[in-house]
A and B are shown apart, each in its own frame.
Chain A
Amino acid sequence: MDTAIVRHRLRYGERMSRQVVREQLLRFAALFRLRRAERDMADELEFHLAMKQQKYMRERGLAGPHALNEAKRDLGGLEKWKEVCRDVGRARPLEDFARDIALASRMLRKTPAFTVVALLTLTLAIGANTAIFSLLNAIMLGPLAVPEADRLAILRVQPDDFGYAFSYPLFKQFEKQTNVFSHVFGFVGRNFQIHGSTGTERVAGQLVSGQYFTALKVNPVLGRYITPSDDRPGTPSGPVAVISERFWKQWFAADRNVLGRRIVLNNVALTVIGVMPKAFKGVNMDEAPDVFLPLEAEPLVDAPYSNIAAGSSAWWFFAGARLRDGVSLARASAFLRAASHAALKATASEPGTRRERYLIAEPGVAGYSYLRLRFEKPLIALMALVALVLLISCLNLATLLMVRAASRERELATRLALGASRARLLRQLLTESMLLAATGTILGLAAAPFLAKLLSMFLRSPQEALRPPLDVAPDLRVVLFTVVVAVVVTLLTGMAPALRSTGRELQQRMRQGSVAIKGAERRHHWPHLILACEVALALVLVTGAGMLGYSLVRLHEVPIGFEPKGLVLLVLEVEKQARDGKALVQAYRDISDRLAALPGVEQVGYVNMLPLMGSWWTGDVAVVGHEQHELFRNQVGPGYFHAMSTPLLAGREFRWNDNDEATRVAILNQAAARVLFPNGNPLGQRLAVDDEKTIAEVVGVVGDAKYQNMRDVAPPTVYSSFAQGVKNKPSYAAVIRVTASPASVISAARAVVRRVMPEIPPPVAMTMDQTIAEHLVTERMMATLALFFAGAALLITAIGLYGTLAHTTARRTGEIGIRFALGAQRGDVIGMVCWENGIVALGGCGLGLSASLGASKFIASFLFSTSPKDPLILASSVVLLIAIATAASLIPAVRAARIDPLTAIRYE
């Protein structure tokens, strides 16, 4: 019995599923015989009526037409009957969908202005969202393509005076520990010089410590990788190198006998011991190294410098680790923190002079990325910005659709009365917004890669040519994001108007005639509420953009202590050539003289640390017999301050004969003079620089100039002569003050360098303006985009305000006519119409102001000497929005004022 029931149920279920399939097939098939189905339905109905008619004629003796009417009445409304049959029958979803699309595109074609505005705003908003998202996606890449990447950690020192950098002695303190980590490794990117067929070329590489590869658990495709036994100074077989698959193919034509071959990087011969697979890019997400060298080879490739020998004063590489099994990141980090005091103390070069520091471990699943560190926050802010623009666009379309749907109420109510289901009408209305969203999404997706490329140029400077380009091609995540955006857009723009215009009260209003409809419509404040939100969001964008723009202006206005316009920078890399000492100084002088002789060149000067490049050098300086100060240092050549247009306030500049045979000399900037000689003339005074034994005489005082960045005040700086105390073949940059175009000077300058020092790679050349532009790239990108999107938001809001008001005013024609007839003046009507938008704008501004103030903390982190509550910016943003609301109201208001009372009332 039980089994019978079970079997019975099974069969029933089986049949049900068969039925479902059959139903769908029929629906689908019916789609292709739509017309026939409609005709069949009419035929069937006609046959039924005929039979009924005959019956009534036969049984009740009614006349033919009378009997037909009677039969029709039995059947109820004919159209209703058909609508119900349609609902039941055939291929509702697909068929309706096709019909809805056709209808929607017809409706959209009928209002081209609306459609063009809608598509433009959606394309812009969706394109911008997709572009920013794909950039975020590109810099937030990860996880690393290594096994169990989630068990990796990146180590850093807090507070972060040196970013993520480590010194060699500090790293050595932790490299061997096994309490919480199974491996600890160090790595740093290096570009090497290699002699190829076309002269000296650069190749991207990485110096890695012994446990780097074992920690990453990626096997070479050929040979072996670097192990701790390779990472030792003076290995008997000489230093080794692991190369990338790309390098192997390019330089060795994928020769399998590459192992044991020699490559010469930076004049150091290295033995190739392995080839890493293509997918392996190391731990630094921004780099794609082609050669890996042991960390211990650093003094060889950096010769004559040595960061390793510089010990605790050089913070020059990054450190990572793999967690031991069963150890959590939090525990590892706590362990590091506890152990760091002793380690830092043991390796600190200047105990007590620095704040208390400690080490922590951060998640390393996505490796290390400078781009991510620097641009993650700005990009997230930009994402919020473009999301706001998208929201504004959606709200705008929603209001426009809503007022448009208001004029279709009659049609919709009629169809509802005829028996179409509400769901059916909702679907039809949503199809319209879906069509808009889908088209906007496709256009936006098409525009996004272009926008993303444009934006990624902001992020990557041309000097980083060796770095892999940011991969902004849309991947699955980007496409998924866009699809979600499109769906949200459809619902946001379509749902409110569709729900409202198919609501129950609609039918009641239908019965009460058009006047009642209009009255009810005015009572509904939905469009106005949404518009107010739109105004509020636009205000947030405008104030934000205003602040970012103002902040950028402030950054450009702030005195930097030199004149960046007309400055060309030429970076010479001389470490790897043979000249040294006097001969090198002479070569520098040759280059300088020849550069100065070029047409369009006014002055040439050398400098060790170029300003605003992010690097700096500090050292201890003391007035002889007084306490030491840690001041900024730099080495510059004769004519440097003149070339930079930094004012010489007292004394003299350096001269060519300020060399090792002459007295040591120093130049102070004003800030340094104030620190070292609070109440005395520094000229002729003696300073102990670097160590107590090196005594330099102050020969000049110059104006303060910005050093490592523009946001900080110009630091106290002590300058030494570039020709004194020269060791280790220092590389200098030539700063060239030009009157001609920088481009012509740059090519001539390169030729000069090639003649005097043919053995060095072609110098990197740029203008100071470019350097500043790159230095301020984040601020510029944020301000430019914020201004652009704020402008777009303003335009969209204006269109929304205008469109809604134009519509409602047009529908109030009769009422306004009556007002005129009752003696209203034009001014009254204009005021009345403008007031409608006025309220919306005022309410929106109030809302927007509080939102702006609420977000001020977030905004403040992007600003330079600009308050996020700056009353001037806030007030002018409000004025701007009110002005735009007024402008948007003018045309409808004037149109309303021209209404002829007679015509208007007669029309009603």
Chain B
Amino acid sequence: MGDRELVPGTLDMLILKAVANGPLHGYAVAEWIHDRSREVLKVDEGALYPALHRLELRGLVASEWGASDNNRRAKFYRLTKAGREHLGLEKERWTRLSSAIGFVMESA
């Protein structure tokens, strides 16, 4: 399971990205990340909800209760304006960082 672990510190960014395209409930966030990573990344569910609550507290996501696809009561998270800005910054930072790591690793 080792290769499925997230790079530390990236969970918040991934969650923000997951809810960027529209409101999702917690379960869907985990599934979305799992799918989009071509089933490489698996979100630790024990860490997911604390992270979502933390982001909500920081005003980067907002939540409301709604009906899920199978018509159950679920809590949906959506990106706020502040969250979108934050995501932009994080994305930029991540791109810089990963390409930098790439340069290092591919150098002779």
Question: Beyond the given A50-B72, A54-B70, could you list 10 further A-B residue pairs with CB under 8 A, ordered by the A residue number?
Answer: A15-B85, A22-B59, A23-B59, A44-B25, A44-B49, A47-B26, A75-B45, A75-B46, A81-B49, A84-B50
B5 CB to nearest A CB, Å: 15
Residue of B nearest to A81 (CB): B46
Q: Across the interface, do A23 and B50 meet the contact criterion of CB distance under 8 Å? A: no
Known: A40-B75, A76-B45. A85 touches B50 (CB 8 A): yes
Q: Which residues of A contact B53 (CB under 8 A)?
A: 85, 88-90
Q: Does A26 contact B (CB under 8 A)?
A: yes
Q: Across the interface, do B57 and A47 meet the contact criterion of CB distance under 8 Å? A: no
Task: Scan B63-93; emit 1 where CB is below 8 A from any A CB, else 0.
Answer: 0010010101111000000100100010000
In the bound complex, what is the Cα–Cα distance between A604 and B58 (angstroms)?
A: 91
Q: Which residues of B contact A47 (CB under 8 A)?
A: 25-27, 68, 72-75
Q: Does B54 contact A (CB under 8 A)?
A: yes
B32 CB to nearest A CB, Å: 13
Q: Does A51 contact B (CB under 8 A)?
A: yes
A4 CB to nearest B CB, Å: 13
Task: Scan A139-163; emit 1 where CB is below 8 A from any B CB, else 0.
Answer: 0000000000000000000000000
Best-buried of B53, B58, B72 by chain A (most CB within 10 Å): B53
Q: Across the interface, do A51 and B59 meet the contact criterion of CB distance under 8 Å? A: no
7 A-B pairs, CB-CB below 8 angstroms?
A: A22-B59, A23-B57, A50-B72, A81-B50, A85-B50, A87-B50, A88-B54
Q: Does A627 contact B (CB under 8 A)?
A: no
Known: A19-B82, A43-B75. A80 touches B46 (CB 8 A): yes
Q: Which residues of A contact B26 (CB under 8 A)?
A: 44, 47-48
Q: Across the interface, do A52 and B27 meet the contact criterion of CB distance under 8 Å? A: yes
Known: A26-B57, A51-B27, A76-B45. A88 touches B72 (CB 8 A): no
Task: Scan B28-67; emit 1 where CB is below 8 A from any A CB, else 0.
Answer: 0000000000000000011001110110111100000100
Q: Across the interface, do A15 and B46 meet the contact criterion of CB distance under 8 Å? A: no
Q: Does A74 contact B (CB under 8 A)?
A: yes
A85 CB to nearest B CB, Å: 5
Q: Which residues of B contact A43 (CB under 8 A)?
A: 73, 75
Q: Interface residues of B: mostly helix, strand, loop or mixed?
A: helix
In the bound complex, what is the Cα–Cα distance between A26 and B27 (angstroms)?
A: 24
In the bound complex, what is the Cα–Cα distance between A483 and B102 (angstroms)?
A: 59
Best-buried of B49, B58, B65, B72 by chain A (most CB within 10 Å): B49
Q: Across the interface, do B75 and A44 meet the contact criterion of CB distance under 8 Å? A: yes
Within 8 A of B (CB), among A1-52: 12, 15, 18-19, 22-23, 26-27, 40, 43-45, 47-48, 50-52
A17 CB to nearest B CB, Å: 12
Q: Which residues of A contact B51 (CB under 8 A)?
A: 88
Top 8 nearest A-B pairs by Cβ distance? A76-B46, A89-B53, A51-B27, A88-B50, A84-B50, A88-B53, A75-B45, A88-B54
A821 CB to nearest B CB, Å: 49
Residue of A nearest to B60 (CB): A19
Q: Which residues of B contact A48 (CB under 8 A)?
A: 26-27, 45, 49
Within 8 A of B (CB), among A139-191: none
Known: A40-B75, A48-B45, A50-B72. A23 touches B58 (CB 8 A): yes
Q: Which residues of A contact B68 (CB under 8 A)?
A: 47, 51
In the bound complex, what is the Cα–Cα distance between A54 and B31 (angstroms)?
A: 13
Q: Which residues of A contact B46 (CB under 8 A)?
A: 75-77, 80-81, 84
Q: Which of A15, A27, A44, A89 contacts B82 (CB under 8 A)? A: A15
In the bound complex, what is the Cα–Cα distance between A80 and B49 (angstroms)?
A: 12
Q: Which residues of A contact B56 (CB under 8 A)?
A: 89
In the bound complex, what is the Cα–Cα distance between A51 and B68 (angstroms)?
A: 10
In the bound complex, what is the Cα–Cα distance between A19 and B56 (angstroms)?
A: 10
In the bound complex, what is the Cα–Cα distance between A679 and B32 (angstroms)?
A: 121
Residue of A nearest to B72 (CB): A47
In the bound complex, what is the Cα–Cα distance between A87 and B75 (angstroms)?
A: 19
In the bound complex, what is the Cα–Cα distance between A843 and B27 (angstroms)?
A: 64
Best-buried of A45, A47, A76 by chain B (most CB within 10 Å): A47
Q: Which of A19, A40, A45, A87 contacts B58 (CB under 8 A)? A: A19
Q: Which residues of A contact B70 (CB under 8 A)?
A: 54
Q: Across the interface, do A89 and B57 meet the contact criterion of CB distance under 8 Å? A: yes
Task: Scan A72-105; emit 1 where CB is below 8 A from any B CB, else 0.
Answer: 0011110011001101111000000000000000
In the bound complex, what is the Cα–Cα distance between A84 and B59 (angstroms)?
A: 19
Residue of B nearest to A48 (CB): B27
Q: Which residues of B contact A84 (CB under 8 A)?
A: 46, 50
In the bound complex, what is the Cα–Cα distance between A90 and B56 (angstroms)?
A: 10
Q: Which residues of A contact B57 (CB under 8 A)?
A: 23, 26-27, 88-90
Q: Which residues of A contact B49 (CB under 8 A)?
A: 44-45, 48, 81, 85
In the bound complex, what is the Cα–Cα distance between A26 and B55 (angstroms)?
A: 12
Best-buried of A15, A48, A80 by chain B (most CB within 10 Å): A48
Q: Across the interface, do B45 and A74 meet the contact criterion of CB distance under 8 Å? A: yes
Q: Which residues of B contact A27 (CB under 8 A)?
A: 57
